[in-house]
Structure 1
Amino acid sequence: MKISIQKLKSKLDQIYLAYNRKQYVDPDPLLFLYNYPDVRDREIAGIIASSLAYGRVTMIMQAVSVVLEKIGPDLHRFVMNADPKCIAGMFQNFKYRFATGDHLIALIMGLQKVIAEYGSLGACFASDQAGETDLLDGLARIRTRVIQAGGAGHLLADPQKTSACKRSHLFLRWMIRKDQVDPGGWSNVPAAALTCPVDAHMFKIGHMLGFTKRRSADRICAAQITEGFRQINPDDPVKYDFCLTRFGIHDGLDMSELKRFLKDDTYHV
């Protein structure tokens, strides 16, 4: 059933007001970013947390916690003073699915390279943003420089390929948006340009709302779902990402409950 944008927006705003709260963050790797008031530390925590954000959420939380605890509270200082031989012992036994200690060391040394060249990850990301609308060039710029250091492998998705780059867009949401949940920090990048991080939950929601008919969560699917939300909230199309994806993740919030609430309320872009 096709309904008005305003009616769907009203329902989504109700969900946002009810669930876009810090009490619903755990379990979510976003939780770790709250420990870093300095943006220089927060962006490093964010890229590490998002890089490991695949698989079961409980295992993601455990893996990110191990890494950040080993590094300590001053992430920026650690990264800028890191030496691969000196930190090898810290991560030699680390293993999370496809990620090993060698991947982490390569990521840290790649981040060191980026920050040394640009001053921060945010500065690298936004250095050529004039006229861009999808921010893929900024993601590619960071990835290219990190990969040049060698060995980070799959930890940073390639935005030039056909995947939805869910982890990368999740990182951008954390760093660019600022509300009760997303901490922000990159104030020079517009939230209007963000793309939805399409995980299994957002993929189902995108179909539920009629925003996409794609059979896989690829880059086209992410663009279609984002465009659907952009029709509702052009200045902040990713606004509803967190609150909607609590259903199916957070205890007590089932996807069937969301489906009942949104029943028949689909808008086909």
Structure 2
Amino acid sequence: MQNNTLKAAGFSAYVIDLLEQKTEQYNRPEFISNDPVCIPHRFSKKQDIEIMGFWAAILAWGQRKTIVNKCLELCELMDNAPHDFVLNHQESDLKRFLYFKHRTFNSTDTLYFLHFFRNYYKTHDSLENAFSDHLNPGDDTIEKGLIGFHDLFCDSENFPLRTRKHIATPLRKSSCKRLNMFLRWMVRKDDNGVDFGIWNQISPSQLICPCDVHVDRVARLLGLLQRPVTDWQTAKELTASLRLINPNDPVKFDFALFGLGIEGFATPAIQVYRK
């Protein structure tokens, strides 16, 4: 970054160098196997990647090993062919899902997800449209896409109210961490082999950084974030800071923030806060 741009962004060279260094360290195939992103990486068909990427992101809370194992269980329940299964399963095939559970996600939620996927993929080639169709030209962020997707997902006479808690929306002030992580996987494009970059109607510049306890803590230490709570405005504030450093691909720094959080990063704030 040029010196004048660096000054305009207001971040010390230390912060920017650290983010770039840690992004390079963690945005590598070696880290796929222990992360929920390993689930969609089991597939090559676009729709399979979308379905299992979405499910892996939604179930991504708790220990990562448990998350991966529960997603592998789902893969087996769908005969390791998610797109074919959601389109062609028989009513009797659904019985095998009656005992699926992960934390507060239960069989009722599972069966509705299958219902949604079946109805959606009957008329659409890609899940991207469920988000991109709600965006307007020139939208700075994915916010309208998230709101529109939530409304589409819940728009069914068969929709169980309990399932709403699993699909976040900015209108409920959620940070939408899991959906933003899923969108990062689908939209970001690079040659590192972690994110898929299989969607083209949404720009990486429109993505919002997923905010969890690790990312939030490190972002505050680095002076990227001032808001004391974690909600939609927090996610936008963090992304706005990252966009000052890289306007075209701000969410790439999610790798660095999450990785530093896992490392237990606790550098004294005076060294790294915005000058």
Q: TM-score range by the shorter chain?
A: 0.7 to 0.9
Cα RMSD (Å) of the superposition? 2.2
The Cα of 1:10 is off from its aligned counterpart by 2.3
Q: Which residue of 1 aligns with 2:3?
A: none
TM superposition score normalised by structure 1:
0.88
C-alpha distance in structure 2 between counterparts of 1:36 and 1:213, whole Å:
39
Deviates more, 1:184-193 or 1:107-116: 107-116
C-alpha distance in structure 2 between counterparts of 1:115 and 1:10, whole Å:
43
Please tell me the residue identity of whatever aligns with 2:264.
M
Please tell me the residue identity of whatever aligns with 1:196.
C
Q: 1:106 to 1:171 in 2, by over 3 A?
A: same
Confirm or deny: 8 A CA contact 1:103 1:153 kept in the other structure. Answer: no
Q: Among 169, 180, 189, which residue is 2:202 paired with? A: 189
Please tell me the residue identity of whatever aligns with 1:63.
K
Q: Percent identity, please.
A: 28
Confirm or deny: 8 A CA contact 1:110 1:145 kept in the other structure. Answer: no
C-alpha distance in structure 2 between counterparts of 1:187 and 1:263, whole Å:
41
Q: 1:24 to 1:62 in 2, by over 3 A?
A: same
Please tell me the residue identity of whatever aligns with 1:183.
F
C-alpha distance in structure 1 between counterparts of 2:46 and 2:268, whole Å:
37
SS in structure 1 of the partner of residue 252 of structure 2: coil
Please tell me the residue identity of whatever aligns with 1:206.
A
Q: Which residue of 2 aligns with 1:167?
A: 178
The Cα of 1:219 is off from its aligned counterpart by 0.7
SS in structure 1 of the partner of residue 86 of structure 2: helix
TM superposition score normalised by structure 2:
0.86
SS in structure 2 of the partner of residue 240 of structure 1: helix
C-alpha distance in structure 2 between counterparts of 1:46 and 1:175, whole Å:
8
Unaligned runs of 5+ residues in structure 2 are 1-6
Q: 1:81 to 1:262 in 2, by over 3 A?
A: farther
C-alpha distance in structure 1 between counterparts of 2:222 and 2:179, whole Å:
24
Q: Among 215, 220, 223, which residue is 2:228 paired with? A: 215
How many residue pairs were aligned? 260
Q: Among 113, 121, 127, which residue is 2:127 paired with? A: 121
Confirm or deny: 8 A CA contact 1:93 1:101 kept in the other structure. Answer: yes
C-alpha distance in structure 2 between counterparts of 1:145 and 1:116, whole Å:
15
- Alignment of 1:238 onto 2:251: yes
The Cα of 1:5 is off from its aligned counterpart by 5.1
